[in-house]
Amino acid sequence: MQGNKIHILSTRPVKNTLIQEAAENNIQLDIIPLIDTEPVQDIDTQQEVEQIALQYATVVFTSMNAVESVITMLDQQVPEWNIYCMGNTTQELISNYFGEQAIKGTGNNALELAEHILDDNEELDEIFFFCGDQRRDELPARLTEAGIQVEEIVVYKTIPLYQKIDTAYNGILFFSPSAVESFFHKNKVTDSTVFFAIGNTTEAAIKKHTNNSIITAHSPGKEELVRKAIYYFGER
């Protein structure tokens, strides 16, 4: 590394304004995506989404990728759904397409969202969960335990992008457990590297591979995580 400049790595794309903000704090923020996603494009899934769209249903989204995939399948149709979702980008996408009034509750993590659903719906017996093929167990497990039938519809797939990374970064930002597994498939880090995790499940994935310091954001906003890293190194 040159001079005293700090180098941090984001494992998913972020806004150019954040890269500039980092540069103003003498931090070079590199972007190397470690996972990709692709929507499920088969006739059975398409028909399943279309059938749910005809119902006055309660549905759940825990990722922006699921929202984008379902919106594509709806083809400008806007069903009357009661929607529960993660905050930040996922919530914003849903609000833009379905309307803010469709969102009945949000959460900072899957378990918090599940508890919100249970608090709001004492007589709910079925919920539709639009998710990816690498979805976590917390939300469906908690709802099933409470007697709610969870119909899972996999609408996107996660694809690891295994890349050998030669730079010894001061900090690395992870936004999902899948990206963590992709990174450690080919890479090791120095003892001084600080990790930044988007939430508790991503933090747990990092801990499986290293005892290094981990700073965790407890909100699903990726901008918040980037700024945590900027503030952390900017204050040093």
Tens of pLDDT, residue by residue over 68-108, are 999 999 999 999 999 999 988 899 999 999 999 999 999 98
pLDDT band at 200 (very low <50, low <70, confident <90, very high): confident
Q: What is the mean pLDDT of residues 52-71?
A: 96
Number of Cβ atoms within 10 Å of the Cβ of 17? 9
Q: Chain-centre distance of CA 163, in angstroms?
A: 20
59 and 133 in a single domain? The answer is: yes
- Number of structural domains the chain divides into: 2
Give the CATH number of the domain where residue 191 resides: 3.40.50.10090
Position 88 scores a pLDDT of 84
Q: Last residue of some domain: 134, 158, 182?
A: 158
Position 98 scores a pLDDT of 97
Q: Supply the mean pLDDT for the chain.
A: 93
Taking the CA atoms of residue 157, residue 159, residue 160 and residue 162 in that order, the dihedral angle to the nearest 10 degrees is 180
The reply to whether 1 falls in a domain is: no
63 and 142 in a single domain? The answer is: yes
The 10s digit of each residue's pLDDT in 128-180 is: 999 999 888 899 999 999 999 999 999 999 999 999 999 999 999 999 999 99
Does residue 210 have a pLDDT over 90?
yes
Range of the domain at 130: 38-158
Q: Count of alpha carbons within 13 Å of 155, Cβ hemisphere only?
A: 27
22 and 83 in a single domain? The answer is: no
- The whole-model pTM stands at 0.85
